[in-house]
Amino acid sequence: MDALRPLGIDPALLVAYLINFVILLFLLRLFLYRPVLNMLAERRQKIQDSLEQSDKVRQEAEVQRAEFQRELEEARKTSQEAAARAAQETEKMREAILAEARKEAEQIRAQARQQLEVERQQTMAELQRQVVDVAVELARKVLGRTVTVDEQAQRQLIQQFLQEAGDLS
């Protein structure tokens, strides 16, 4: 140790510095290092808890998003079904209206046919009456005198003839 003195190093001071360093190291470890390690461990735990919490929140968000997507898909399907039902109902109503219109048109046609037939029969009856009148008048003029034979019987004969002629045609 005496070899250190010529270099300007006092061995007693060196030992004292060494003891002070060890004491300082012990005190730092006791009062500073452990609390810092504990603080770092707590911080690490908080970070770990925050990460776990964020994962949990993310998973819940995914579950909620999936639920929302499912509900949205259900709503779409329901609205499509409602639209399809409305279209079917509209088509049924259209068919019912068309059927009713066809039925009314057929009734109108039938009434028109009936009315036309009634008018035809009335016209034919009027025409027959006129033909009878003309035939009787013509017979009077051809014979040049008044026919004394029963005029009503003549009319019936002419009418019968016209009906038979009408049946033939």
27-66: pLDDT as tens digits: 888 888 888 889 999 999 999 999 999 999 999 999 999 9
- DSSP annotation of 8 reads T
User: Between helices 151-168 and 34-143, what is the axis angle to 10°?
Assistant: 130
Amino acid present at 97? I
Q: Which of 132, 134, 138 is nearest to 152 (CA)?
A: 132
pLDDT of residue 167: 63
pLDDT over 90 at 158, yes or no: no
pLDDT of residue 149: 57
| Angle in degrees, CA 39, 45, 48, rounded to 5 | 145
User: Cα dihedral sign for 115, 119, 124, 126?
Assistant: positive
Percentage with pLDDT > 90 across the chain: 54
148 φ/ψ angles, rounded to the nearest 5 degrees: -90, -10
Q: How many domains does the chain have?
A: 1
Task: Categorize the per-residue pLDDT at 69 as very low, low, confident or very high, splitting at 50, 70 and 90.
Answer: very high
Task: Categorize the per-residue pLDDT at 159 as very low, low, confident or very high, splitting at 50, 70 and 90.
Answer: confident
Report the 10 Å Cβ neighbour count for 135: 17
Show the tokens assigned to 75: 């709503």
Indicate the pTM of the whole model.
Answer: 0.41
Owning domain of residue 50: 2-168
